[in-house]
Amino acid sequence: MQTLSTSDVPGLGRLQQRALIVGVIALIAGAAGAATNIDQFFTSWLIGFLFCLSLSLGCLGLLMLQHISGGQWGMVGRRVFEAGSRLLPVVALLFVPLLFGMPKIFVWARPEAVAASHVLQMKAPYLNVSFFVVRAVIYFLFWMLLVVLLNRWSAAQDNGEGVTKHDSIRYRKVSAPGLLFLVITVTFASIDWVMSLEPAWFSTILGLLWIAGYGLTGLAFTIIVLAAIHRDNPSGSLLTPRHFHDFGKLLLAFTMLWAYLSFSQFLIIWSGNLPEEIPWYIERIRGSWGAVALALVVFHFFVPFGLLLSADLKKKSAMLQKVAVFILVMRLIDLIWYVAPSFRHLAPEGAAVAPGLIPMHWMDIAIPVGLVGVWVFLFVRQLRSRALFPMNDPYLKEAFAHHDAP
């Protein structure tokens, strides 16, 4: 069974170089913007942090799902999942600047705001700076524990250790409860880092919605990387049209799950028409933000859904890669739509906020692009540090038993 080494994939080097160039330029622009508008800088940094987090946690969730379910799709994608998950310590570092800007980001972190609001006073036992930091530390420690265990065992397997099927049981023993607690911790993290931006608003579906979004982000990124690997050397790779067809079906499933949860959240809140909940959506479906909401409905669901119904498209790596890139862009726009309207209070007092055709601030694009560029640069370095496929996995031969069959 043939396989590729990283030296056989020059596209990875090109991707790494371009990501670094774009990332550095975008971050320089973001730094210049911070000098003139530090409040907006922290807002945009939060968006960039959340997007990088979705890439790493999406990869971690898919890695554990692969260990539980098995199958060829997981075998060919495992190295991408592992490399993405190993960047969680970097994402944790990206969280640190947010600690310095907490009073500018979170209303409940301002003592004068808490003193003037009965709602904030009632929520103070949970929404306070000390407990917020403690929870964040717990989240990252748990996520990184999963990353260390799964990646350490995988590296040992590459060196010829733990290569029996009995040894592989430990992956499932960690992944099964790990996936459950990943859902729980991401739910609380979404409450802390997104829902608490507007403390009076709440949603019982938000955690599941963000889990679906993280899975969709990680899956789209994996398809982009695997398609680039296949393009460089299609004959020397384990990748076949059948694998991309499987990934395309998973991408369609996650797209439908995201759309279902998004509509369910909207339907429940809109039909409830409660004063604590409905203003959140009113702000996001009127004016320029309403145009963004409509674009998300059309381009984040209907267009990908229609394209991914085609079996021929899903088998063509180049076409599927384009759809994945499109979805990844829409994931960023969706994140901006969730976060940015919460900061309308950052406008100077008494100043009218012009609706404009594009409601997003340019730093909401530049800083996330810069952080993702650096993330991708480090990702490629991690990916190239190991073999592209787990050739010593005891289930590899079974998974590819019919790989060479006519």
Q: What is the pLDDT of residue 354?
A: 41
| 143 domain-assigned | yes
Domain total in the chain: 1
**What are the angstrom distances between the C-alpha of 20 and each of 340, 377, 396?**
26, 6, 34
Q: What is the pTM of this model?
A: 0.93
Sites in the chain below the pLDDT cut of 50:
235, 345-356, 404-406
**Contact (CB, 8 A) for 349 and 256:** no
| 54 domain-assigned | yes
| 73 domain-assigned | yes
Q: What is the pLDDT of residue 6?
A: 60
pLDDT tens for each residue of 219-250? 999 999 999 988 877 545 678 899 999 999 99
The token pair at 12 is: 């990875």
Helices 241-272 and 278-285 cross at an angle (nearest 10°) of 120
Please tell me the distance from the alpha carbon of residue 45 to that of residue 62, in angstroms, as a whole number.
26
| 395 domain-assigned | no
Give the phi and the psi of residue 146 in degrees, each rounded to 5: -60, -45
Q: What is the pLDDT of residue 217?
A: 98
Q: What is the pLDDT of residue 5?
A: 60
Give the phi and the psi of residue 173 in degrees, each rounded to 5: -65, -30
Residue 266 falls in which region: left (phi positive, over 0), alpha (psi -120 to 50) or beta: alpha
**Contact (CB, 8 A) for 403 and 71:** no
Please tell me the distance from the alpha carbon of residue 82 to that of residue 56, in angstroms, as a whole number.
9
Q: What is the pLDDT of residue 160?
A: 84
Please tell me the distance from the alpha carbon of residue 385 to that of residue 76, in angstroms, as a whole number.
16
Which residue, among 220, 153, 209, has the nearest Cα to 183 in the 3D structure? 209
Q: What is the pLDDT of residue 237?
A: 62
Neighbours of 309 (CB within 10 A): 11
| 45 domain-assigned | yes
| 392 domain-assigned | no
Domain of residue 276: give its range: 6-387
Neighbours of 156 (CB within 10 A): 14
**Contact (CB, 8 A) for 195 and 203:** yes
| 367 domain-assigned | yes
DSSP-derived 3-state class of residue 372? helix
Maximum CA pair distance of the chain?
73
Q: Which residue has the tokens 């075998």?
A: 75
**What are the angstrom distances between the C-alpha of 153 and each of 96, 147, 149, 249, 392?**
29, 10, 6, 29, 12
